[in-house]
Chain A
Amino acid sequence: MTKLETALLDLLQEDCRLPLEKLAVMTGATVSEVAEAIENMEKEQIILRYAPLINWDKTDKERVEAMIEVRVTPQRDMGFDAVAKRIYNFDEVKSLYLMSGGYDLLVLVEAPTLKQLAMFVSEKLSALEMVTGTATSFVLKRYKEHGVVFEGEKTDHRQVIVP
């Protein structure tokens, strides 16, 4: 990673709508250098997409989320990757991580209703032959994601003007 790339990731993570011109000014690079660096990072899949952070609880969309701890039997020669691929191909799976500790995979699942989520676990996930056990925990409330507090008190405690 170049210094410019690191700085750009820092800035874009904060606000991915910053125009190239402003990114260039802030990093001290030219607009074309910035454009090239971003394009490279997109090509190398360092930057995967530019998405907003949404507080769904404030919308009227019905949505249930759960985190499922999954224990599996690794496949010969393929390790956990083959199992993971089977699992992440389900549309319901939003995130999937290989974990250290008491279980193997952590699956973040999202479905419109509780019933549909339960069906996913019992019919799709548990039905996989290499899955030996699951433990499902439902998300009740979201406090903070990606460093952003969803409904906090004001964080700027400064006086409005200070000499």
Chain B
Amino acid sequence: MNYDRYLNPAIAAVPPSGIRRFFDMASTMRDVISLGVGEPDFITPYYIRNAAVNSILNGETQYTANRGLPELRREISLYLSSRFHVEYNPDEEIVVTIGASEAIDTALRAIVSPGDEVLVPEPSYVSYSPSVVFAGGVPVGVPTLAENQFRITADAVRNAVTERTKALILPYPNNPTGAVMEESDLVALAEVVREKQLLVISDEIYAELTYGERTHVSFASLTGMWDYTLTINGFSKAFAMTGWRVGYICGPKELISVINKIHQYAILCSPRQGQAAALEALRRGKENDYAEVAQMRESYDRRRRLMVDSFRAMGLACFEPLGAFYVFPSVKTVGLSSEEFCQRLLEEEHVACVPGTAFGACGEGHIRCSYATGIDKLNVALERMEKFVARVKKG
């Protein structure tokens, strides 16, 4: 039977994720080392897991409030205030979602009217542009460049704005590049946001994972920007809680109440045990100054240095990522496209990476390597890659 007549053509036309093919190939190999995993290699800390178990044993098996457990929203409010200097009222300005992913989708559905344009920096996480399309909007890619440390510039945004532009997605620290925005970059961006009256959807899921002396600057914390910002964050990356599916979105109550309307009808509420776990993560974090987060960050930082140094030693240009857990080296000097490089590397050396093009056309020439993997495995993967690069270059 032909189902085309049933499917929404706009949605059917969205291409499948660029990683699918590599996933299928890598899944059949036995000794593959994957640098393609966009989630922590740590297991959720024990006390957090235990809080979920206790919640089950206590019979907490019901729905929660649509917006999430009130005590969790209170803790989220305190957390954002103390860590990132942004203030949100737990009763009216926060909704707990099924991961940051639902937050992105729901935010777009709440604001996009048919034909509205949403600016999406590229390369960036795979779900933004499809989510804009699903909401009936038009994603407009704004390329970011290695020579600008993959930061989005005020000029690039200004040039991309049309009268249909409604919002800008601000995904920093960035997946796949590992780029971060400095406060001065954000201040420059704020001017355009004010001038063009853009709404900023700031996806700060990697906020806890920044390296060096700097710490993450939340866009809503800039003077005057709170009113223009939806802040998205969650527990997946900072607390190694990807499978729990708990995130949140915060913003002005006029927007959050509409977002909550969609969330309430589509989702009802985020899973209760995930919320119980998240609550414990924040309560304990507050008490021990987020010791586990700091430990994980330190461990990532060592691996980050190892990766950058090794890629440079192989002769691959590699911009220094200061956030998330990815490096995004250039493979242009090897003489292969991103896709070819990843495919041959996987076939010949059994190392899985993700081609930069999976994150937008301007990712061509780069590959994404996640370092959320043990040092022993990273070292083996790097040795194999070094061999591969030398062999291909030699022709």
B189 → A minimal CB distance (Å): 25
Contact with A along B263-299 (1 / 0, CB 8 A): 0000000000000000000000000000000000010
A22 beta carbon closer than 8 Å to chain B: yes
B257 → A minimal CB distance (Å): 31
A146 → B minimal CB distance (Å): 15
Q: Are B302 and A26 in contact (CB under 8 A)?
A: yes
Q: Are A15 and B376 in contact (CB under 8 A)?
A: yes
Q: Are A160 and B36 in contact (CB under 8 A)?
A: yes
Which chain B residues (40-79) contact chain A, with CB distance < 8 Å?
A: 41, 43
Number of A-B residue pairs having CB atoms within 8 Å of each other in the complex:
59
Q: Are B34 and A161 in contact (CB under 8 A)?
A: yes
Interface residue from A28, A156, A158, A163 paired with B19 (Cβ < 8 Å): A163
Q: How large is the interface on A (under 10, 10 to 19, 20 to 34, 35 or more residues)?
A: 10 to 19
Identify the closest chain A residue to B22 (Cβ). Answer: A161
Q: Are A14 and B37 in contact (CB under 8 A)?
A: no
Contact with B along A135-161 (1 / 0, CB 8 A): 000000000000000000001101111
Interface residue from A7, A155, A159, A162 paired with B302 (Cβ < 8 Å): A7
Identify the closest chain B residue to A14 (Cβ). Answer: B375
Find chain B residues with CB under 8 A from A51 CB. none
A18 beta carbon closer than 8 Å to chain B: yes
Q: Which residue of A156, A159, A160, A163 has the most chain B CB atoms within 10 A of its CB atom?
A: A163
Find chain A residues with CB under 8 A from B43 CB. 155
Interface-lining segment among B91-99, B148-156, B303-311: B303-311
Find chain A residues with CB under 8 A from B127 CB. 163
Find chain B residues with CB under 8 A from A15 CB. 375-376
A149 → B minimal CB distance (Å): 13
A27 beta carbon closer than 8 Å to chain B: yes
Q: Are B39 and A162 in contact (CB under 8 A)?
A: yes
Which chain B residues (1-54) contact chain A, with CB distance < 8 Å?
A: 17, 19, 22-23, 26-27, 32, 34, 36-39, 41, 43
**Chain A residues engaging chain B, CB cutoff 8 angstroms:** 7, 11, 14-15, 18, 22, 25-28, 155-156, 158-163
Closest 4 A/B residue pairs (Cβ): A161-B36, A26-B302, A162-B38, A25-B309
**Chain B residues engaging chain A, CB cutoff 8 angstroms:** 17, 19, 22-23, 26-27, 32, 34, 36-39, 41, 43, 125-127, 175, 298, 302-303, 305-306, 309, 352, 354, 358, 375-376, 379
